[in-house]
Amino acid sequence: MTPLAESQTFNVDTLQVRIFPGRLQAGAAAAFQAAQCLRDALAKQGSARLVVASAPSQNELLAGLAAAHGIDWDRVTVFHLDEYVGLPATHPASMRNYQRQWLLARVRPAVFHGIRGDCSDPATECARYAALLERAPIDLVCMGIGENGHIAFNDPGVADFADPLKVKVVELDPMSRRQQVNDGCFPNIDSVPQKAITLTCSAMMSGRVLICVVPGARKAPAVAATLQGPISPSCPASVLRSHPSAALFLDPASAAGIRR
- Asked, for residue 119, whether it belongs to a domain, the answer is yes
The answer on pLDDT for 3 being more than 80 is: no
Average pLDDT over residues 120-135: 98
CATH of the domain at 120: 3.40.50.1360
- Asked, for residue 244, whether it belongs to a domain, the answer is yes
Q: What is the pLDDT of residue 49?
A: 98
> What does the alpha-carbon distance between residue 131 and residue 69 come to, in Å, rounded to a whole number?
31
CA 198 to chain centre: 11
Q: What is the pLDDT of residue 8?
A: 92
Q: What does each C-alpha distance from 39 to 32, 50, 70, 234, 257 come to in angstroms?
A: 11, 12, 7, 35, 35
Q: What is the pLDDT of residue 4?
A: 46
Number of domains in the chain: 1
Tens-place pLDDT, residues 145-160? 999 999 999 999 889 9
Residues 184, 104, 50, 230: what is their CA dihedral angle, to the nearest 10 degrees? -10
Its pTM stands at 0.95
- Asked, for residue 23, whether it belongs to a domain, the answer is yes
- Asked, for residue 3, whether it belongs to a domain, the answer is no
> What does the alpha-carbon distance between residue 134 and residue 256 come to, in Å, rounded to a whole number?
38
- Asked, for residue 32, whether it belongs to a domain, the answer is yes
Dihedral pair phi/psi, residue 63, rounded to 5°: -65, -45
- Asked, for residue 49, whether it belongs to a domain, the answer is yes
pLDDT interval class at 7 (50, 70, 90) = confident
- Asked, for residue 10, whether it belongs to a domain, the answer is no
- Asked, for residue 55, whether it belongs to a domain, the answer is yes
Residue 188: domain span = 16-250
Q: What is the pLDDT of residue 1?
A: 39
